[in-house]
Amino acid sequence: MARFIHLTDERLLARLKKSGIRTTFWGREKIRCVYATPVLQDFQVSHQWLRELKNRGIRTIGALQFKIPDEEEVLVGRYSEEPLSVTAAQAVKIFREHATGLGLQVLIRRRIVPKEISRSYVPTQIVGWRYHPDAHGKPPFCGCAYCQRGLIKNRKIREKYEAQNQTA
């Protein structure tokens, strides 16, 4: 059985553990899936999406661990790229063999039922990246008001972006 972690709002943990994890829409094709990462020895890789979710306004992130059969077909790939269709066991292997594992995600094309959920907890809240993996020391892709809306400390980024574009 392959073990995965799904990150969500901490306030929803009790309800999701009782009722299961619903699917959400993904991609242009609007595929219904559950986002997850495998349980690995590297805590940062397993919980890498935590900071990205916090940028969306969730204060405290909770985690649900669940098991699915090794033979079940899932999608794995980097965020915003076309994923590969592999088995759950192969997805875990891809994460382990990847150079860093950062930016990868697993998409499970069905809901997770309560009996598959083995654990719920609140992980350390200071892991992950701010804009994208390896972003430390690099400016964000775009500093416009639209791309920076709702992000933490966006005022300074927008002001710097606007100053650079006024002189150009």
* For residues 52-56, average pLDDT: 74
Least confident window among 17-31, 59-73, 124-138, 142-156 = 124-138
Spatial separation of the C-alpha atoms in residues 90 and 17, rounded to whole Å: 26
Q: Is the pLDDT of residue 78 over 90?
A: no
Least confident window among 2-6, 30-34, 86-90 = 30-34
Cα–Cα separations (whole angstroms), residue 69 to 15, 80, 97: 24, 26, 20
Nearest alpha carbon to residue 71 among 85, 53, 56:
85
The pLDDT, as a whole number, for residue 66 is 96
The pLDDT, as a whole number, for residue 131 is 57
97 pLDDT band (50/70/90 cuts)?
A: confident
Residue with tokens 């920076």: 148
The listed range with the strongest mean pLDDT (97-111, 129-143, 148-162) is 97-111
- pTM for the model stands at 0.75
Spatial separation of the C-alpha atoms in residues 34 and 80, rounded to whole Å: 15
pLDDT per position as a tens digit, 153-166: 778 888 888 888 77
Spatial separation of the C-alpha atoms in residues 121 and 50, rounded to whole Å: 13
In the chain, the amino acid numbered 116 is E
Task: Tell me the average pLDDT of the chain.
Answer: 84
Among residues of the chain, what percentage have pLDDT more than 70? Answer: 85
Output DSSP code: residue 120.
E
Helix, strand and coil content of the chain, in percent to the nearest 5, comes to 30, 30, 40
Residues 77-81: contacts with CB within 8 Å, 24+ apart? 77/104, 77/105, 78/103, 78/104, 78/105, 79/103, 79/104, 79/105
Cα–Cα separations (whole angstroms), residue 106 to 17, 101, 122, 138, 147: 20, 11, 20, 27, 25
Q: Which run of H or of E encompasses 93? A: helix 88-97
Among residues of the chain, what percentage have pLDDT more than 90? Answer: 42
